[in-house]
Each structure stands twice: as structure tokens, then as C-alpha cells.
Structure 1
Amino acid sequence: MATPAAGTVTELEALGTSGYDYISTEPCEKYNVQKLMAQLLPPLYALVFGVGLLGNVMVVVILIKYRRLSILTNIYLLNLAISDLLFLVTLPFWIHYARQGQWAFGYDMCKLLSGFCSMGLYGETFFIILLTIDRYLAIVHALFALRARTVSFGIISSFITWVLIVLIALPEIIFSRAQDEQGYFSCVSLFPEGDGDTWRRLYIARINTLSLVLPLLVMVVCYSGIIKTLVRCPNKMKYKAMRLIFVIMVVFFIFWAPYNLALFLHAFQMTFFETSCEQSNRLDVAIMATEVIAYTHSCINPVIYAFIGERFREHLRHFFRRYVAVCPGKCIRLRASEAPDRVSSASPSTLEQELIGVF
């Protein structure tokens, strides 16, 4: 998975655009593009960091505080939040890198942070896939789900998923390295000499497959089955549930498809159209813009997969009233009738709870 602040230092350099890009044997200057990215990326990533950190920390706190990890869906939600946090904690380093124009954290930190970034982003994708499959089993194959959706299965499947994530992120760790070029320190992806173009194209093809094609395929298959079940089910909440399905798929596509397309076109630009320096610079800017959109998805995950749940909102209100909101001299506490574990008459149906992961 690509590294943030890519336009200035890492992803575009991995694609062959560090300072100069040689198109048709003529050098193409990239310094104006890099200057633009150095100005725009730090504040944008600072916003993503702040919002994403707050949202995902609240998900982790609520899950642990109210001890609802006995539900398979919540185990996956916790791992999804951890994946987002793993990515988000690397952002301050990339922000500093983009602002200063060179890497200041050493050789080992370059590899470590590149690995954390990739693990976080792949983890986000894979646990969204697991959440989608979990909803599919709970609604379409309810009897089987009663036996299969256990805490033990959630722990084992999460462990196996993290092992897979580490293995998939190994290329980022192996190929990322800090280097000194005439006093300019950079953290870049350096592929083997001679086969650099092949490695770069394989690198982008892997990103496209794992971060877009695979999750979209799983979503289409699983949510199609869910919609068929909801249509047959005489439940007054089914239309709201189907709208939620549509929102989940559209949001994922809007956030990730443009970035994957921009990376693909950049890697294969000489194959699809006649290249020029101006065209290459435009693709660089497109990668920068779509990268910000894609990484903002880590801020959206808590909203879609947690905050939308009625019970989660109850727990959140309870938490803020008890530990955050302060009246003169004391905290506001819930009355017994406002206890978050109480299920109100307005709570979603069981079917909708299974669909949106309400806990």
C-alpha cells in the first residue's frame, strides 16, 4: 500500500518521479509539483490525523469500556479501528517529511513507518471484508452463523488476518529505505535495478487488486445476497437497511477508486497514451488529490461501522456525560432510566442490528 505524503517523496519517487522523470529520454522537472504538494499535504493530513484519531480512539474506548467484545462483529470493529490507528500514527512523520522536504528520522524508522502505514491500510481493507462477510452470514445463513460466529472464531480469524497483512506489507518494508543524495535525505521505495519498471507495475497491480477489486467484489457478492434476503423479509426496516448497504458501497468506491485509477494510469502511462512532461505532472497532482481522499476513509470508518449504531451512540452519550461533560463542580451522570444497556422501543430490529453491526 502506498505511503502518505506520496507526492512529495515516496510513492511518486517509487514510480520514477523523484525530482526528474525521464520521458522519451528528456528530463521532466518535478520541483513545481513537489513544492505544491509540500504546501497542501501537511494541513490536509493534519486534519485527517486529528479527526481520524479522535473517531477511532472513541471506538476502541467504547468497545473496551462497555465489554462488548463477546460479539464477533465487535471483534472485527476493534481490529478495524486498530488498523486505522496504526496508519494514522504514521501521519505526523509524513507531515514533517512533506513540510521539510527531506527525511529526518533515520534508516530504521523509514522501514518501520512504511511498514506500519501499509499494514494499517491493508488491515482496514481486510477487516472491512471480514465485516461484510460477517453480515452476510448473519442475515443470509442465520442458522449456520449461530454456530460459526463465535468469539473463538473471531480471535483466530483476526490473528490469521494480521499474519496475512504483515506478509503482504513485507515488500514495503523490504524496498523502503532512507538514502542520502548529495545532502538530501529521502525515504523512498527502491526496486531492483534493471527490472524497476516490472516491479513498479506489479506493485501498483497489487495495490489495485487488494485495496479496490477484492473488497468491491466481496461487497457486491455479499450485499447482493443480503438485499435478496431483505426483499423477501417483511420487515419495515428493510428499506433503511438497503439504503445503508448502498451508502457503504458507494462511499468505499468514491474514496478508493480514483486513487487506484490514478496510480494505475501513472504506472502504465506509456502504454495507454502518448506521454509528456505536462501529462506526467498532471498525473502526479491527480495522485496527490486522490490520495488525500482515499486516506480520509480512515476517518469515515468509525461513522459507517460504529457511530451509526443505536447502542454505540447510547454508550457514547453515557461516556461523555460521565467522563467529559462537566457541570459546576461535578460531572453529569445518567439517571438509572438512561442506562446505555437498556434497549429502547426505538432500537433497530434484530435484522438491522446484524446488518450495521449495532452493539
Structure 2
Amino acid sequence: MDDVDYVEYEDYAPSNETEIYSNLTQLVTFSTSQSSLTYVLVTTNIIISVVGLGGNSLVIWICGWKMKTTVITTWYISLAISDLLFCVFLPLDVFYMLTSHWPFGQILCKLSSSALFLNMYSSVFLLVLISADRCVMALFPVWSHNHRRVPKAFRVVVLMWILSALLTLPSLIFRKTTVHGSVTQCHTDYGGHSKHKAVALTRFICGFLIPFQIIVSCSLVLGVKLRSLTIKSTKPYKIMAALILSFFFCWVPYHTFVLLELDLKNHSVEVQRTGLRVGTTLAAANSFISPLLYVFIGNDFKRTLRRSLTSGIEEAMAEDFRTGGLSHSKSKSMEVI
């Protein structure tokens, strides 16, 4: 799922016995701390997987079947699908994190790693679409009313998924499995530092830097425009702001340590390793934050969810009452007989 397992250590060989002893001591301490960290990260990833699968499925159900289909629900359903796909593969990475053994084959090795980056690209591109859409609605309300249509939004989402898939191709190409005795590793082999650098910079620029510049620009324009408008509810804008902030704080640590990895000679390998593991887990956390934001911030979503659950319970009780009444009638008729 991450870049931890293929950091290049060849240039860090000890030069004398004192350095070897010092490195061994540091290695024991590092291994102990890494073991404790592994359990924390595994627990966190299990929570992310469970909440992410349930929460995003709930968002897809509510927005797709219980709410009116609009351009906004189209964006949010796509975002939930992106997060759900990642959460489906996350248990495989949890198993690998615990055992350091990958028994699932090379295809799932490639797909599991690709799921994280597909989620990264699709999420940030959808945030760009949501931000631009809100900005256009505020600046050009008449044009938006006449031209914002669900079929157009759907076509844009399809193009977004195609672009995200193309940018995710390096994970499918360079990810592979290697067998060492009875242990199989799932790792990335770029075959050279130049390819590694090109992929890392592409991910940072296309998956973070440029999209966030667009998002921030749209947010600033929208903020200035909203001051001059009288809006009944600011909840949709609060959701948008929360989604942007959560994506930013979840992905900044990962991209920071990936860029630092390109210059390992000037940084501690242990710190780099730990940073990448923590950064990857924070990136994964972004996939379950979105549904929580809808539940706690979105009034329309909460009302629809409450209404859907209430009607579901009422239907179940009514069915139980009908079944019970039927059984009661049958028993009475048997008594008469």
C-alpha cells in the first residue's frame, strides 16, 4: 500500500566495528518501537476499514436511493465509491502489515497498492469539481440554473475516473511480488532512482499541488462572494470546507515523507520509514472521514437518514405485527376446530 518496503538502503553500510555495534543497538531499539507502532497502525487501519466500509455504503445508499438525484449528490456518491473501493482492499494490507507475508498473489498486490492512489487522485479531483461547481453557482447563478444537469455531471465524473486510472498506472506497472523462501513480499520495484523520482513528483504535482491551488482559489473567490449574498443555509459550504481540510491534513504527511525519501542520504532512514508508515495510515483515514462529515454536518443527509431508518423500523414492525396477527388468527381457528 505504501512506499515503506522499497526504500533503498544500499548507501548506508557501516564502515567499522564500532559503527556496526552502534547500528545493532539502534536496530534493536528501532525494532521494538516499530513493533509497538505496528500494533497501533494495525488497530487504526482496522477501524478505518470497518467504519469506511459501513459509512461509505450508507452514503451511497442514502444519496443514491433515498435522496433526489442532483449534481451535488452525484459528486458525493462518486467520492463515497472512491473511498469504499479503497476500504475493500485495506484488510489485505492490514494482514501484510501484521505478518510481512503476502499470500494473495501478484494481481491483488498490484490492485491493493493501486487502490490507495486511485483514491487519492479521484478524491482530490472530485474536490476540485465540488469547489469549482460551488464557485460557478455563486458567480453565475442564472447560467448554473440553466446548464447544471445530472447527465453532464455524470459525464464529467466518468472523465475524472479515467484520468485517475491513467495516473494510477505506475502502481500497476511497478508493483510486484518477490518470494524469499517461505515468505512472499509485495513491494514496488522502479528499476532506478529516476523512475522513482518521476512517479513521486507526478503524484505530488498532479495529485496534490495543482488541485489544491485550484481548490484554494475557488474557495477564496467563493468566500468573497458569499459575504455579499444572503444565504439561508451555509451547511453545504461547511461540508465542502471540512472535506478540503480533512484531505489536506490526511495527505500532507504522506507527500512530505515521499519527497524526503528521494534524498535519503540527508535524512534518517528510521525516521523516514516510520514517517511513511504513519503518513500512509493518515492518508487511509481520509476514506472514512467523509461519511462522518455528512452525518454530523449535513442537515439534509441526517434528516434523510433518520427518516429512512424510521420508515425501515416501522415497516419491520408492521410486518411483524401482520405475521403475528396471522399466526394468532390461525391458532384461534385451530382452537375452534
Q: Report TM bin, short chain.
A: 0.7 to 0.9
CA-to-partner distance for each residue in 1:62-102, whole Å, 9 max, x for gaps?
12222522x11111111100000011100111111111111
Does residue 207 (structure 1) correspond to residue 203 (structure 2)? The answer is yes
Matched, 1:283 2:272: yes
- The within-5 A match list for 1:228-239 is 228-235=224-231
CA distance in 2 between partners of 1:47 and 1:142 (Å): 41
Distance 1:302 1:244, change over 3 A: closer
In 2 relative to 1, CA 42–86 (structure 1 residues): closer, same or farther, beyond 3 Å?
same
Change (3 A) 1:76 1:267: same
Q: Contact 2:257–2:279 (CA<8 Å) still a contact in 1?
A: yes
Given the superposition, is the C-alpha separation of residues 172 and 285 from structure 1 closer, same or farther in structure 2, using an over 3 Å criterion?
A: same
Could you tell me how far 1:185 is from its partner in structure 2?
A: 0.4
Letter paired with 2:144: A
Measure how far apart 1:285 and its partner are: 1.0
Q: Which runs of 5+ in 1 are unaligned?
A: 332-359
| Distance change in 2, residues 1:183/1:46 (3 Å) | same
Aligned length: 309
- For 1:283, the aligned partner's letter is Q
Aligned 8 A contact 1:227 1:242 in 2: no
Deviations 1:105-125 (A, max 9, x none): 012221232233322332222
Q: Do the aligned partners of 1:52 and 1:298 also contact (CA within 8 Å) in 2?
A: yes
Structure with the higher helix share, 1 or 2: 2
Q: How does 1:114-263 map to 2 (within 5 A)?
A: 114-192=113-191, 196-235=192-231, 247-263=242-258
Aligned counterpart in structure 2 of residue 301 of structure 1, from 272, 277, 290: 290
What's 2:41 paired with? Answer: 41
Separation of aligned partners in 1, 2:77 and 2:5: 34
1:267 is aligned to 2:258: no
TM-score (norm 1): 0.77
Corresponding residue number in structure 2 for 1:65:
65
* Per-residue Cα deviation, 1:184-209 (whole angstroms, up to 9, x for no partner): 201111112xxx11122222212222
Residue segments in structure 2 that go unaligned for 5+ positions in a row:
15-19, 321-337
In structure 2, the CA distance between the partners of 1:141 and 1:256, relative to structure 1 (3 Å rule), is same
CA shift, 1:246, in A, is 5.3
Distance 1:259 1:300 in 2: 17
Q: Distance in 2 between matches of 1:324 and 1:207?
A: 46
Deviation at 1:223, TM superposition (A): 0.7
Match of 2:333 in 1: none
CA shift in 2, pair 1:327/1:83, >3 Å = closer
Using a 3 Å threshold, how does the CA distance of structure 1 residues 247 and 120 change in structure 2: closer, same or farther?
closer
- CA separation in 2, counterparts of 1:300 and 1:140? 29
Moved more, 217-226 or 302-311: 302-311
1:230 and 1:293, CA in 2 relative to 1: closer, same or farther beyond 3 A? same
| Percent of pairs with identical residues | 22
* 1:156 positional shift: 0.8
Aligned 8 A contact 1:56 1:85 in 2: yes
In the alignment, residue 47 of structure 2 is paired with which amino acid?
Answer: L
Q: Cα 1:113–1:250, aligned 2, differ >3 Å: closer, same or farther?
A: closer
| C-alpha deviation, 1:55, in angstroms | 1.4
Q: Secondary structure at the match of 2:68?
A: coil
Describe how 1:91-106 pairs up with structure 2 within 5 A: 91-106=90-105
For 1:246 and 1:80, how far apart are their aligned partners in 2?
15
